[in-house]
Structure 1
Amino acid sequence: MARENQTFNSDFILLGIFHHSLTHTFLFSLVVGVFTVAFIGNTVMILLIYLDTQLHTAMYFLLSQLSLMDLMLICTTVPKMAFNYLSGRKSISLASCGAQIFLYVSLLGAECFLLATMAYDRYVAICHPLRYSVLMNQKICCVMVVSSWIVGFLDGIIVIAVALSFPYCGAREIPHFFCDVPAPLTLSCTNTLLFERLMFICCVIMLLFPVAVIIASYVRVIVAVIHMESGEGCQKAFATCSSHLMVVGMYYGAAMFIYMRPVSDRSPTQDKMVSAFYTILTPMLNPLIYSLRNKEVARAFMKVLGKNKSGEQIA
């Protein structure tokens, strides 16, 4: 019992992704730059959608929730990684590690279902435009978003409750830059096969079910677009859906690669590279993809800039 308590109270060691060489210092600076762009980009998206009344529609409300999830996701991992690198410390307490795992898993799960909701929104907008205000009214949209958050948090609670129940021993070194679920499993003193199976089942539900909804929605969308007589309508529908499909492809591809493989087949280097892609790079790309390819967001941004310039001129 004493040994287990000692194990429980000791810290983990995050080996990180960078060393103090010239090349790695440059890469670290690049990651900090990406984090800054992601933080500013997602914050601006949230503020634009909140401030501009013309963006108070279901589609942009869902987009603001995606930006909020991305903002929280990148703040869950990068600040701790940057602090450890700059301070030279590599330790992370069990409580902090548990908090990272909970937030990380919860946000990933919530984003999975939110992306499925966004696909359904595009299906209704293109296939049933006359009934859009009824099928995607404010109440229904809020229920879908709240449900996404709840499902994500439930997934996080289940995973963290089981993960923290294992005794950890040995060097307690995690070959990662943050506490991801698979990484600590290799340090467990007991057999984690049952938990790995539980995690796989959760991944099937959290990844494959939303993917099925997305595929079904876009199959109907493609059929509707093919039968459109207006070339302008086809182009608008394609522009609206292509941004979402780009995000879905990047997000689900990386998530399935990480979580739907057995622990024995994992490579720490591969896991770190793929995790860095969809926890650091994807949150930066999402607001850029939606803002650069969306005239309404660009219009709202220019409107805010115009007001600021007018205020400065008056001052």
Structure 2
Amino acid sequence: MSEWLQMGVTGLSLGLMYALIAIGLTLIFGVMRIVQYAHGEMYMLGAFGLYYWHGALGLPYWPGVMVSAVAIFILGMLLQATLFRPLAGKNLLYSLAVSLGLVLIFASGGQLIFGTTTKGIPSAVTGGTLIGGAYISYERLLICAVSLLLIGALWLFLRFSRQGLALRAVAEDAQTAALYGVKTQRMHRLAFGLGSMLAAIAGGLMGSMLSIVPNMGFLATIKAFMIVIMGGLGSIPGALIGALLLGMIDSVVTTKISGDVALIACFVVIFLVLVLRPSGLFGQHWD
């Protein structure tokens, strides 16, 4: 039982991290209808930003998370305004080509700037507690708490704030929203910035538990797309449920067998879901 409890907490923390990345990607696709394949690079940049702030310079951890998040938020808005804005309404292949170019630029540039040596971020908290015979680190509990807080804050923002309602309106029908005075391009920038920021925060939080390397964004992007497709394109609840499911599968199969088998198992689950529900678990909904 203690082993299963340990795997459950690990799976929950992984799932919530995946959820931050996938919800950010879902937000971008839902509002802009583009493929942002460089989303994992925002995750990578968030991790390196916090590493240099907290790990290299020794500055406080939580201000570093905020600084890194704000920097990537601004970067996301700039990328939308300069590269993705002209692609609005065009074939998805155009945005795919641009984002693949960004993957190469950020990954190659990261190797030149950050080097190829594996890095890590010192933990914000140390120690742990015994629950049901399983040792649960405070770090994992903190990751779970922060992730849930961010997801809850995003839900409240989308549900009740004026900007959040405008984002949902653009996601549902951009032309009708524009007729009612919603600035669609402004919402596109906001969605891109928020989505990128969520990925950056996930990278910073996971940086103390995983190795930080310039190509770490590739696997994050693959898993985020797996989750988004399984949950349903444009569905934030679907992204959350899909992320938690993949996090649990990842934890259990990695512990019992290996990480490579866990990745295969995740793909098998996605195939089964799409066979039974081609539109994903939740389809395209924003409620």
Please report the TM-score for the alignment, with normalisation by the length of structure 2: 0.28
Work out which structure has the larger RCO, using CA pairs closer than 8 Å and 6 or more positions apart in sequence. 2
Q: Which has the larger radius of gyration?
A: 1
Please report the TM-score for the alignment, with normalisation by the length of structure 1: 0.26
